[in-house]
Structures are given as structure tokens and as C-alpha cells.
Amino acid sequence: MKKICLFAFLFLFLLAFPRESHAASSNSHIQLDGKDISVSKGVQIQEVKGNVLVPLRLIVEELGYSVNWESKTGTITIHKENLNLSLQVNNPIASVNDQPMGLAVAPLLNGGTTYVPLRFVSEQTGVEVVWNNELKTVFLTTPPASSGNSVTTRDHSATQAASDAIESERTAVNQISFNNHQLTITVDGKVSPKVTKLTQPDRIVVDIPDSKFGEEFPASQSFNNGGQGSFPVTEDLDVSKVRYSMFSTNPASVRIVVDLDHSTPFHLINADDGKVIVALDQATEESASTDTVISTIPVEPTISSDGHAQGIDVSHHNGNIDWQQVAAAGKTFAFIKATEGTKYQDNQFLANVQGARDANILVGAYHFLNATTVDGARQEAANFARAIDSAGGRLDLPPVMDYENNPKGLTSAQISEVAHAFLDEMEKLTGREPIVYTGNVFASKFDPTFSMYKLWVARYSTTQKPTAVPAWNSWWAWQYSSTGSVPGISGQVDLDEYNGTIDELRASLAGSLD
């Protein structure tokens, strides 16, 4: 608990440092346990983006740590008792007991002297820090010495256990996507995101406090050596790219940035249902202010076409569902997330399939496609087919390929190649012709050879129906809302409509339901 409080204190203290991009603090001093540590001429405290870096030798000489410098790789390893730290010059990712941890600023080499982040070192060693801006002095206080090795080991184990417990309690960010003019962040648990609009350049910044990237975070959304990732957005006129990173480790915070081509109004949707949505608004003359973030739940959309069969699509993010209530609310079909990537299977898939069946709701399954190669697409199809088999085999509705974003920036030809590989493999494995799910804009990336497949398309509107694209001039099903409300489901849910009545849907499936 003491270390947790110290972390919070350090965070507040660092906010008080001058915000210079990169400067040496002349006439600066460091005091350790009341003793002034003289800093030799030309070796001063460094400030980078408001973060303080100190000469490595201070750690060697004064704090009693064993330090090794590998000049060829620019790697610094720091060791004391059961703590092993590894940092690399110009690399913002450090290692703490072989576990990666992001740094607010990378170590640097200046004038032959290596500087390391004071904040990182203090967090990991327990050294208390106070900054006096008038005196330009850092006051360091070391923690009380332990009375013996057994106590030290026990205290470290307790600290590590507490750290592990805190880590496990952090909310997992499992997926980041952008389609249909909105950023969607799927999370496990409740979060209170901070959303900020910045200019020069225009961008929307979303910080998720007390969070981490979860094990479900798709491999296709990878990280570079600096611990950052991004994917281009080619199907939206207002957005060029989405970036993400572990922005802060104390307190833990995942940051997602939407790079805009121009200033664009937006609103935040956060109903504690496993989805955080930043929806970009269509610019109108009434949109006088774009600096205010409105946290709200939209008004429940009306049924878009009277007489058409109404359905939903769900995943584990929708929690435990009372399918009898869903059926009583007039929902007659449901698509349920089964798999993603080559190995992941939704942990609510089998329960949702059985619940929908028991409620006499037509059941289908979908797979979220991450593949960027033909071989990868085939492996993902095999994962999807295995999940369907685990649910008893043939479902009421055809299997669905959910292909809605392009994190690796594939060309239209490559997108078509990957999609055909997945669809062909699924048909071979299941004996059924799959359905294609995608967004109305992303659908334009599919060439006319896909017209043989039925289209389930997303366009969030109760008045503007999906438009024609090269491969399709009509839709089989329409996902017209991601913020619906249905009895039996806690929080928001996707709403869908079949392009016909329920009797027509059942008739179209006749022969495949046997």
C-alpha cells in the first residue's frame, strides 16, 4: 500500500516540473537522505517532456545498485536483491524482472554520460522524491533498511504479490476498431475514459485509466519496438489513422488517438456494456462547438422497416443474456460471435447458441477476421469451423465472415484475396455458402466477384439505408444500430433487420434446417 501511495505522489510531483522539451537544469542539485550529491560540471539533471533524468553514476555510487553498461547495444541493467531492471538508450520500453514496461521517456546518452528516468527508478526502488522548484533541487529519501534477508525477501514477495494483484484488476482493452464513422474500443469491465479534442494537428485522444492490453487484443494490431501501434483508416473521409499505446504505467493507462483530416465534432457513448464508442458526428451548421465531449446514451432507434424480421448480434461483451425475454421482445434471429483469429473462441458462444435455440430464435455465428494472408485466412476458417462443430454442427443461419477493417493497410486486391480464401475454406469445411458482414464504406473494397455472397451490412441510421457498392446493389441483412436496448440484455446491443419477413427468412432457409 505504501508503494501504491508513493506512485500516486510521484505522478503529482512530476506534474510540477518545468515543461521543457529537452534541457539540462543548470545549477541543479540532488540531495539523498540529507546529503548533497554534487553533480560534476557538464553533468546536470536532464528534463525531457517534463520528465527528469539523472546521471546513471548517481545510482551506482549513492544508491548501492549493481549496474552494467553494454556500450554496443546501449543497454543498462540495474540489479539489487530481487529487483532486475533493464533499460536501453532511446528505447521507451524497459524491463522489470523480465516483464516489459513502458516509459514516459527513453534513457538518453549525452556528453558521454547516460541518463535514466528518475521517475522510473524511484518507482521501482521505493525512493521517495520531492522537487523544490525554487531551489531547483531533487530531495531523495531512501526507504528504511530491512532488519534481515528473510524480511527483505518476504517484503519483496508481498510487494510483488500486491503488484500482481493490481495488474490483474486492471481493465483489459481487447479490441480497437474504426468503421461506420466511429471508434469502438471493447473492454472487459467498467471504465471511465477521458476524451480530449486537440488541434495542430486535429486529433481525438482517448485515455482509458487503470487499463492494459488484454490477451484477446488481436495479433494483427501489433506493436513496434517503441511499444506503439497504429492502423490506417482508408474508408472514412474525416479520419486518416488510429494510434494506440500503453501511454502510462503509473497510473496504468491505455491511450488511443484518432488522427483527423480536419476538425470534426463527436460524442462519447459509454454505457458500461463492454464497448466505449467515440462517434463522429456529421458536420452541420448547428454544430457550433466541437470542443465539448458529450457522454450520453442515444435515444433508442425505432424499427427501421415495418414487417421486416428483427434480430440482434452479440458476443461475450453483452454478458449473460435472458434469451426468453429477447424472443418476447420480437427478436427472431441472432448472430453470435464464435471466434476471432486462429485460436480464440468467445467464452459465451456455446451458452448463447443454446439459449437462443431454447427460445426458438434462429441462430447463426460469425468470425471476426484478422488475417492478412491467404494462409492465415484458411487457418482462421478452420478455427471458426471447429467452434461451429462444438456447438453441434450446422446452425440455422449460414456462417458469417466479419471483415470490417484494414489494420495492415492491404490493397483492395489483397483484401479480396484474403476474403476469398476464408470464404472458400469455410464452404469446404461446412458445406454452406457463407455470408459477408462489413461496413457500408468498407464494402466498396470488395470487387464484383463477391456478388455471389449474401451481404450483411452495417450502417448506423434509422433512415439512411445502405447504399449500393460494386459487389452488391442490395443487402440481405442490415445492422442499423450499435446502441440498441433489448429486454434480457444489460447495456447496449447491436440491432439487425432481415430484408424481408420472418416467414420469408424461414422459407429461404428451408432445406438447410433439416
User: Which residues does the annotation mark as catalytic?
Assistant: 313, 402, 404
Q: Which of 194, 322, 335 minimizes the C-alpha distance to 255? A: 194
Q: Which helix (H) or strand (E) holds 415?
A: helix 412-430
In which residue are the cell numbers 487503470 written?
A: 210
Q: Is 267 exposed, middle or buried (0-12, 13-18, 19+ CB in 10 A)?
A: middle
**Count of alpha carbons within 13 angstroms of residue 72, beta-carbon side:** 0
CA–CA separation, 233 and 404 (whole Å): 11
Q: Which of 477, 479, 470, 478 minimizes the C-alpha distance to 450? A: 470
* DSSP sequence for 419-469: HHHHHHHHHHHHSS--EEEEETTGGGGS-GGGGGSEEEEE---SS-PPPPB
Residue 473 DSSP code: S
* DSSP sequence for 357-379: HHTT-EEEEEEE----SHHHHHH
CA–CA separation, 86 and 76 (whole Å): 6
CA–CA separation, 181 and 305 (whole Å): 23
| Torsion sign across C-alpha atoms 383, 384, 390, 392 | negative
Cell of 464: 439512411
Q: Is 96 exposed, middle or buried (0-12, 13-18, 19+ CB in 10 A)?
A: middle
